[in-house]
Amino acid sequence: RRAAAAIYAAIINHVVPVSDMKAAELTKIFENTFRAVNIALVNELKLMCLKMGIDVWEVIEAASTKPFGFMPFWPGPGLGGHCIPIDPFYLTWKAREYDFSTRFIELAGEINTTMPYHVVDGVMRALNAQRVSLNGAKLLVLGIAYKKNVDDVRESPSLKIIDLLQSAGAQVIFNDPHCPVMKRTRNFDLEVKSVEITPELVKSQDAVLILTDHDAYDWDFVTEHASLVIDTRNATKAAKRKDNVVKL
């Protein structure tokens, strides 16, 4: 512990030693589990709000004005990254050795894991409203990284969503300014290159599906040229045109 603290102190302003390795490991896993559970809560809230016709992002923003006792988490198409989707299940596995069931954590994992399926179902419904079948539909996906402004696709829900859409017969292409190539991952082998966004390309698609809200995107450009925009991140909140936007 003293050696580790000395090493970290060379690059970190405030090192927090704990009693032993077990406490240190559980601290990290608890932090990731805390986020996973709260993201699951807002994802479930989003699904409920979709049925009620309420803007979940407006609700969260309003709740965030409370000066204490509330921490905003934001819904999305699913969880990604190396830590949050995986680490909580290390804890559930370990807990079974002690004859303990982590029901809360497992429920959160179930909700987050099913989000890509809800997105695909929402895409199908949005296309149906335009009298377009998902089978054969031309779809442009914006963003395959698991979160904005990074090039990390590990456990990205975008990959699962693309796989599900392709399995349903959709013709899917993607653009991601941070990921020029969709590289092979643990679960998917989709060797596809990012396409260049042009007005002609956007207009030629049956729908544009926003899965990662990178700052590099011009949302006014997207909404201006797309016939249908399906937004899973509230990225088009400030866009001038919204009549062709469906939020999921």
Q: Is 83 an annotated catalytic residue? A: yes
Q: Dihedral angle at the C-alpha atoms of 118, 121, 125, 127, nearest 10 degrees?
A: 110
Among candidate residues 97, 143, 152, 112, the one with its CA nearest the CA of residue 32: 112
In DSSP terms, 208 is beta-bridged to: 140, 229
The tokens of 214 are what? 């990178």
The 10 Å Cβ neighbour count of residue 102 is: 18
73-82 exposure pattern, b = at least 16 Cβ within 10 A, e = fewer: bbbbbbbbbe
Q: How far is CA 118 from the centre of its chain?
A: 12
Sequence-ordered list of residues with C-beta below 8 angstroms from that of 164, at least 6 positions apart, any chain: 116, 117, 120
Among 83, 115, 165, 202, the one annotated catalytic: 83
- Look up tokens 């990921």; give the residue: 179
Q: Which residues are catalytic, by number?
A: 83
